[in-house]
């Protein structure tokens, strides 16, 4: 785990933060909620067969712990593609207090007190914050989204639509399946190389008939290619498969699971106090 990452708790609710992000944020774990069964206990996904009321109660626990407004939490609808959506006042609350009306794996905004949520249970969720433009984003990337370049497209959208400065932008790659455990057949690296070219080859390791793919490393490389400074990129280094006692891993559970969320929320002023 990167030394800027910290495990935190508010009662039974457990989550991770990064000292590089001076705004309210969290990478949740599966601990500290009210869900039961395969989704026990801090499930934040409405599409997992969980009681919707339990999911809403979990969001209230999260909102109280982070001091963020429940009614303004705005969600991605993840389809493993490369759409990036700018959240406006009219779309605040999408997926929680408004019916979901988009298919978008990444959200960006400069609205204060508007938490953005992306979901993971092996996939890479990255939180982004630019202190110059006071804008933020959340991006979900599985291997397909990674190959489509959704993370650099999120940076591009923040720059074009919100005035984000690439050389001041901070990006934190959250818990996700690591190269240690993301074992695939040849079709995955072949598809990624076909889409991205030779730049991904250093992140693919051949092990007998199988391959191990470093999605965290590829996304860090893509952030640099988008103009984000290397020193402003944090790779949490947390593997959801290795730490399946704390996180749901899609591979470990064979799909019988809840989901975690990466959450980021701006304050109403540009002078953010360091998040505690």
What pLDDT does residue 128 have? 99
What pLDDT does residue 26 have? 98
Instruction: Classify 139 as helix, strand or coil.
Output: strand
State yes or no: pLDDT of 272 exceeds 70: no
Listed by start position, the domains of the chain span 12-265
Mean pLDDT of the 207-230 span: 97
What pLDDT does residue 270 have? 53
Mean pLDDT of the 20-42 span: 98
Q: Are 169 and 155 in contact (CB under 8 A)?
A: yes
Task: Give the C-alpha separation, 73 to 59, whole Å.
Answer: 9
What pLDDT does residue 276 have? 42
Chain mean pLDDT for the chain: 96
State yes or no: pLDDT of 275 exceeds 60: no
Residue matched to tokens 């991006």: 139
Q: Are 155 and 126 in contact (CB under 8 A)?
A: no
pLDDT tens, position by position, 62-110: 999 999 999 999 999 999 999 999 999 999 999 999 999 999 999 999 9
Q: Are 97 and 74 in contact (CB under 8 A)?
A: no
Topology classification of domain 12-265: 3.60.140
Mean pLDDT of the 11-35 span: 98
State yes or no: pLDDT of 271 exceeds 90: no
Phi, psi of 183 (to 5 degrees): -95, 130
Task: Give the C-alpha separation, 219 to 149, whole Å.
Answer: 8
Residue 25: beta bridge partners? 264
What pLDDT does residue 268 have? 85
Query: Where residue 274 falls among pLDDT bands split at 50, 70, 90?
Result: very low
pLDDT tens, position by position, 108-118: 999 999 999 99
What pLDDT does residue 47 have? 93
56 CB-near residues (< 8 Å, 6+ apart): 96
pLDDT tens, position by position, 139-156: 999 999 999 999 999 999
State yes or no: pLDDT of 205 exceeds 70: yes
């Amino acid at each position: 785990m990167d030394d800027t990452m910290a495990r935190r708790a508010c009662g039974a609710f457990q989550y991770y933060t990064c000292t590089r992000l001076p705004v309210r944020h969290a990478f949740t774990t599966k601990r500290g909620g009210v869900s039961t069964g395969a989704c026990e206990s801090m499930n934040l996904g409405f599409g997992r067969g969980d009681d919707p009321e339990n999911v809403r109660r979990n969001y209230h626990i999260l909102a109280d712990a982070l001091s963020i407004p429940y009614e303004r939490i705005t969600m991605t609808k993840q389809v493993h593609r490369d759409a990036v959506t700018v959240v406006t006042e009219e779309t605040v609350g999408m997926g929680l207090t408004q019916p979901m009306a988009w298919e978008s794996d990444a959200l960006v905004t400069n609205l204060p007190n508007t938490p953005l949520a992306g979901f993971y249970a092996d996939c890479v969720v990255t939180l982004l914050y630019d202190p110059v433009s006071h804008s933020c984003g959340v991006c979900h990337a599985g291997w397909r989204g990674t190959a489509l370049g959704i993370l650099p497209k999120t940076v591009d959208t923040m720059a074009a639509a919100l005035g984000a400065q690439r050389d001041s932008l901070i990006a934190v790659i959250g818990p996700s399946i690591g190269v240690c455990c993301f074992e695939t057949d040849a079709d995955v690296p072949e598809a990624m190389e076909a889409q991205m070219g030779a730049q991904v080859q250093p992140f693919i390791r051949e092990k007998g008939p199988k391959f191990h793919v470093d999605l965290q490393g590829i996304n860090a490389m893509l952030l640099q290619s988008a103009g984000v400074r290397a020193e402003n990129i944090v790779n949490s280094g947390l593997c959801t498969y290795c730490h399946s006692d704390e996180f749901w891993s899609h591979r470990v559970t064979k799909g019988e699971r809840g989901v975690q969320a990466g959450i980021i929320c701006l304050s109403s002023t540009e002078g953010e106090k360091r998040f505690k």
